[in-house]
Amino acid sequence: MHRLDGKVARVVGASGALGVAVADRLADLGASVWASGRKEARLRELALRATERSVVVRALPLDGRDPVAVEQAASTILATDGQVDILVNSTAVSVAGDFLALTDEDWQAVFDSKLMVYVRTMRAVLPPMIQRKAGCIVNISGRGGRQPSPAHLAGGSANAAVTLLTKGISERYRADGIRANTVLPGPIRSARADVIRQGNDGVAPPTFGWDRVGEPQDVADAVAWLVSDGARHVNGAAIAVDGGGTATV
């Protein structure tokens, strides 16, 4: 795996299972990592574990649904480190249920917690990336953006929007030396995945593709490669990390 020494990375959603794994992996490869999320205690634990390994992870708690907080966080990073080389977005809120049972508020909550967070964080880091003519963005979407699950249509729709948005960003800022790619995880081992798999979220348990449950580290390794020089010619890609469980091309 290519090293990331000298790189400054911002990981948004770093209090969730995937975000934690990504922040840990980037720090272990030498990046200076700023870990953001809503669960301050988990961010502090992440930073403490990094200190014990003699790597750098700084906790930067924020609610990505707050545009002002997102901009202020970017300003803090730039004032401290002078640059942002890597942005990884990994946020989500899951609202399960039959389509006719979902309210406008349910749909708004999903899009506010995922798509709009990604819009805001990219908007905050793109100007300094453009100025330096370098930058890597990885947006974590999900398999539901390609292969819909009837019980999770709101989340799948948000994931599809993230994938399209990222593709557009990759083309718009390619000439500025910026790469943007999407990672689409399938089921990944976590407390939330256990709830879905057992059908404890009020809907029937899934019947397809759950024989291939990955680990958070699988996603972290894919992200680490995408932001490294090893993937310098990869831009606008949507890479599935699902053990081959998505039944579409």
Residue 248 covered by a domain = no
User: By the 8 A CB rule, do 217 and 240 touch?
Assistant: no
| pLDDT score of 33 | 98
User: By the 8 A CB rule, do 247 and 192 touch?
Assistant: no
Which stretches of the chain are assigned E, i.e. beta strand?
8-12, 32-36, 57-59, 86-89, 135-140, 178-185, 238-241
Residue 3 covered by a domain = no
Interhelix angle for 17-28 vs 40-52, to 10°? 30
| pLDDT score of 245 | 85
| pLDDT score of 246 | 84
Range of the domain at 172: 8-241
Residue 73 covered by a domain = yes
Q: d(Cα 125, Cα 133) in Å, to the nearest integer?
A: 12
Residue 1 covered by a domain = no
Residue 15 covered by a domain = yes
Structural domains of the chain, count: 1
Residue with the two structure tokens 């606008």: 236
Residue 126 covered by a domain = yes
Residue 2 covered by a domain = no
pLDDT, tens digit only, all 249 positions of the chain: 799 999 999 999 999 999 999 999 999 999 999 999 999 999 999 999 999 999 999 999 999 999 999 999 999 999 999 999 999 999 988 899 999 999 999 999 999 999 999 999 999 999 999 999 999 999 999 999 999 989 999 999 999 999 999 999 999 999 999 999 999 999 998 666 555 555 555 565 555 556 678 999 999 999 999 999 999 999 999 999 999 888 777
State the CATH number of the domain containing residue 226.
3.40.50.720
| pLDDT score of 192 | 62
| pLDDT score of 196 | 57
User: In the sheet where 8-12 sits, what is the strand order?
Assistant: 57-59, 32-36, 8-12, 86-89, 135-140, 178-185, 238-241
Residue 198 covered by a domain = yes
